[in-house]
Amino acid sequence: MANARVIIKRLKAVKNIRKITRTMELIATARFKKAMDRASEAKAYTQKIAEIVGDLSAADLSFSHPLLQKRDNEERVLVLVLTSNRGLCGGYNSGVLRQAANCLRRLEKSRKNLVLEVSGKRGISFFKFDGKATDKQYTHFEEKPSFEEVDELATRFIDLYTSGAVDRIEVAYTEFHSVARQSAKLETLLPIQDLSTDDNQDQEQAHAVDYEFLPDAEAILKEIVPAAFKAKLFKCFLDAAVSEQVARMIAMKGATENADEMIGDLSTKYNRARQSQITSELSEIIGGALALE
């Protein structure tokens, strides 16, 4: 029979863990709200970029830019993996890493040269364990990636791509659709496949306006393509940050609920153990009293 004292100890431990997971859930919720606000504020910029791109395409321009051209033989491929610095966030990291590992396997099969860049401690330790060398590691992107930091990274990517050091850039991250749905995804960043977003409505309206381009449409195109790329990369980072908080929130909610269930179970067990202990003590006393007579 389980000793009542042992059960009490365990019960206390579970209660403590519940307190911790509950607090983590609350923290993740607060951080999620902040990250969400940032992401929605950033949306205005991407939308406007898409609008101007739409305006440009309405102006009958042939889109040609080094960042848009697909190269015939892709020799070197850069893969950027966005994971979190901290764990305890459910399947968030494993989802991204599964995508990344699949991609790496494919690339290895086709004997491509690989440049691997990882953001987040979780991803770094995963690749270390896997025995894969990472070329660059970042741990400074927390739940609030700033545009300045991403800009630095993006400028380096553009430089690498235009100089021909890499022929394709892929990113593995978690895309945020809604609070209930996020999905790990592998996306090609460069060459840019599709500049205009699926907002056809904006483009329809743009057709109606006859713009004057200063200094000329070519020059604007030259500048807007890198800007669109930067905005896209920034969106990846923001999405990843929001998804991480959501994943942690849900994981911690599950943990708290499980702890609650366990507390219930353990209290029932404890009460039973206590009662049977009292019963046996009573019967011992009665037995002793009977023996004295």
User: Binding of other proteins at residue 42 (CB under 8 A)?
Assistant: yes
Site for other proteins in 274-293 (CB under 8 A): none
Query: Is 163 a residue that touches other proteins (CB under 8 A)?
Result: yes
Residue 167 near residue 110, CB atoms below 8 Å:
no
Question: Using CB atoms within 10 A of its CB, is residue 35 exposed (0-12), middle (13-18) or buried (19+)?
Answer: buried
Residues from 208 through 267 that contact other proteins (CB under 8 A): 209-215, 219-220, 223-224, 227, 230-231, 234
Least distance CB 231 / other proteins (angstroms): 6
49: contact with other proteins by CB under 8 A: yes
Nearest approach, Cβ of 215 to other proteins (angstroms)? Answer: 6
The token pair at 35 is 């990250």
Q: How many residues bind other proteins (CB under 8 A)?
A: 32
Pick between residue 8 and residue 217 the one whose CB is nearest to other proteins: 217
Closest CB to other proteins among residues 52, 88: 52
Tokens of 58: 């309405």
The dihedral sign for the CA sequence 260, 266, 272, 275: negative
Distance CA 192, CA 218 (A): 17
| Alpha-carbon separation of residue 136 from 67, 118, 147, 171 (angstroms) | 22, 6, 19, 14
Site residues (CB under 8 A) for other proteins?
38, 41-42, 44-45, 48-49, 51-52, 55-56, 146-147, 151, 155, 159, 163, 209-215, 219-220, 223-224, 227, 230-231, 234
